[in-house]
Chains A and B, each alone.
Chain A
Amino acid sequence: MKRLRSVRVRLLVLGLFPLVALLAPLLARERTTDPSVLARLVTPVPFDPNATDLDARFRPPDAEHLLGTDDLGRDVLSRLVHGARVSVGVGLAAAALAFFAGTLLGSAAGAFGPRADRAVLFATGVVQAFPALVLVAAGAALAPPSPFTAAILIALTGWPEVARLVRAEALRLSASPHVEAARAAGASRRRVLFVHVFPGAISPALATVPYILGGAVLLEASLSFLGLGAPPPPPPGDEPWPMPARA
């Protein structure tokens, strides 16, 4: 029972972040003219993440700015709440992509014979020989930083883990009686892969999704720290600053 409670607490914490990210535009926005109790409850962080207030720079946390303000007088908590959208979004997208690619390649390796197996194993070996951050940083310098590139690059480093797990499971499955029976009945390779191997090989890979997700969020944070991650979105309704024309 004690174990169950700690699992529940963890689930609650885990669920909180996507929820905050999803509701960010409601939770943290400019307070309306009516500072009633209801408005206060509905909008607990009454600051726009991009609203600057140069009279309130570097404020320590107080009742008004719960986490203080930054160098431009922007509310840190509001920026945090909105920033969660990028982190959670990139993390989820990267984990989903890595999971999809890993499962597909892993089960192909397990189901399509020793040649495909060796090719996929070689590819995972090559990708895993890189420190993930080195690979992602190198890639981030090649494509303009955006949440989309970040997610793809992070997925690129995450899939081998899934692929290896799924491969082991697919190898076990493709030797199992039901797959043999399907083959004997004349099922095509694709049918064997998608109908008989793929569904069974997914469940062990699902267990790795939380780890990939956590790793992806950390990697995205590291990327942003280096200045290679998703740039902060421009204030809504504002035109981006005019850039000098590209040579």
Chain B
Amino acid sequence: MARFLVRRILGSAATLLGVLVAVFLLLSAAPGDPARLATGGAPGRRAASSEALEAFRAVHGLDRPLPARLATWLGAAARLDLGRSFRDGRPVTRRIAETLPATLTVNGLALLLAAGLAVPLGVWGARHPGGTADRVSGLLLDALFSLPSFALGLLLLLLFSVQLRWTPVFADPSLGLRGIALPALTLALVALAPIARVTRRAVGEALSSPSALSGRARGERPREETMRALRRAAPAFTGLCAALVPQLVAGSVLVERVFGLPGTGQLLADSVFSRDLPMVLGLTLVSGVAVVVSTLAADAAAAVADPRIVDGEGT
């Protein structure tokens, strides 16, 4: 088990390093001079003086060669110092920390909501495959799955904020649940289809396995049988959680824009627009860490739930 974990952690660290270097190279190779953009704004407007540009480059270390900048940046990132935003000069870590609570609250709420709805739906579908409920929910889930999250968000906004006036038009975490209900609902509905589908498949497989048959022969009641099937489906759930993380991150970028929620996704979109290099790199780091760590955690959890996974690695 320990060796399995160590190998996984090393692999994740390598992936993370690759992520960082890739993004750094991508953004440095970009056309457009960040110094010019940060000091003078959009092309076509009057540019800053060349002295100002030089000063900006010196302050942010943009005049140094690429490998040196990369090394400095990686070293600082290890100390959780991600530099300062080109836009307002404030530390990137602080800006991200400010926006993170809102995004995490909305995403956590969305996950709870989605799991609470999708798992029973999936279990029902697995117990009664081909039934009316299974088919209707399958159709609805297909529709939800094909709908882009921002279109869904706009529809909900139109219904609940504009027509019914139950919720504010702009999401506002300070209003409590009412202020973030719509973004959370949107993200939950988007996550509904994958969770329900994985549940239905994993529980269905567990229910048709020989061990379920022997349980039935022992006189297991349907309720116990379902619980056992869910337990058996645990590794599938951990994998699903890891797969949902990138989806939720992407969803946050769009949904926060729809609802004007001042979260991390909104910050990323704004930083991309203004080519705020340290900010984009910092946020990429955060989303990369989130994905890599959650994948790692899912692997570990799956190994705990089903020790055969460790053996399969050939440790």
A interface list, Cβ under 8 A from B:
122-123, 125-126, 128-134, 137-143, 214, 218, 221-222, 225-228, 243-247
Contact = CB atoms under 8 A, between A and B. Distances in A.
Contact of A134 (B31, B149, B268): B268
B43 A142 contact: no
Interface of B: 11, 14-16, 18-19, 22-23, 26-27, 29-32, 36, 40, 43-47, 146, 148-151, 246-247, 249-250, 253-254, 257, 268-269, 272-273, 275, 280, 283-284, 287-288, 291-292, 295
Given A134-B287, A139-B26, A141-B273, A225 B31 contact: no
Consensus secondary structure, chain B interface: helix
Contacts of A222: 148-150, 250, 254
A245 B269 CA distance: 26
A34 to B, nearest CB: 38
Contacts of B250: 131-134, 222
- For the complex, would chain A's binding face be called helix, strand, loop or mixed by DSSP majority? helix
Contact of A129 (B15, B30, B273): B15
Contact of A246 (B44, B150, B151): B44
Nearest to B254: A222
Contacts of A246: 43-44
Contact of B27 (A123, A138, A228, A247): A138
A247 B47 contact: yes
Contacts of A129: 15-16, 18-19, 288, 291-292, 295
Contacts of A134: 249-250, 253, 268, 283-284, 287
Nearest to A228: B272
30 contacts: A122-B14, A122-B18, A123-B18, A126-B18, A128-B246, A129-B15, A129-B16, A129-B291, A130-B284, A131-B246, A131-B247, A131-B250, A132-B246, A134-B283, A134-B284, A134-B287, A137-B268, A139-B26, A141-B30, A142-B27, A143-B30, A218-B146, A221-B148, A222-B148, A222-B149, A222-B250, A227-B273, A243-B44, A245-B44, A247-B45
B22 A126 contact: yes
